Amino acid sequence: MKQRNPGICIVGTGWGHYLGTLIRRARPNSTLFVCGRNAANTAHVARSLSAAGTFSRLEDALADGRVLALPQGLHRQAAEASLRAGKHVFVEKPIARSLDDADAMDCSHPGLWPDVDGLGQFTLPARDC
């Protein structure tokens, strides 16, 4: 049986910091993690969000849910890797750089929630992950 790791990993420390703030406000008791390439930025965002931990590699992120707030050219790769790992994924807009990338991400996948409104109001499935 696969072990569940409840929580949400914010992937990206720029816009991800803002999205983490919205998640923290909507769900104050959520377990948050932060994943980023720059150790100092990642640690700063983690402290600001009272995160449970940090990761420097997406492959190491334990949480069942992931919020991808990366440069748009990285969304496809990160979404595909996360879905293959059985994670639920919220992709910040713009979702992809091209229609080919968007189509390849399989937006019909039940674990993928693209951000289509972009207003900072998470849809119910994303709020409940």
Of the candidates 64, 78, 104, 60, the one whose C-alpha atom is nearest the C-alpha of residue 12 is 78
DSSP type of residue 55: E
- Give a yes or no: residue 1 inside a domain: no
List, for residues 69-118, the tens digit of each pLDDT value: 998 889 888 988 888 888 888 888 888 888 888 777 766 677 776 665 45
**Residues in Cβ contact with 96 at an 8 Å cutoff, skipping those fewer than 6 apart:** 72, 75, 76, 102, 105
- The domain total for the chain is 1
Domain range for 28 is 8-127
What CATH number does the domain containing 76 carry? 3.40.50.720
- Give a yes or no: residue 2 inside a domain: no
Of the candidates 60, 65, 64, the one whose C-alpha atom is nearest the C-alpha of residue 42 is 60
pLDDT bracket for residue 129 (50, 70, 90): very low
List, for residues 2-54, the tens digit of each pLDDT value: 555 679 999 999 999 999 999 999 889 999 999 999 999 999 999 999 999 99
Helices vs strands, H then E, count in the chain: 5, 6
Q: How far is CA 112 from CA 25, 29, 48, 103, 122, in A?
A: 22, 23, 27, 12, 13
| Residue 124: pLDDT over 50 | no
pLDDT for the residue numbered 126: 44
pLDDT for the residue numbered 32: 95
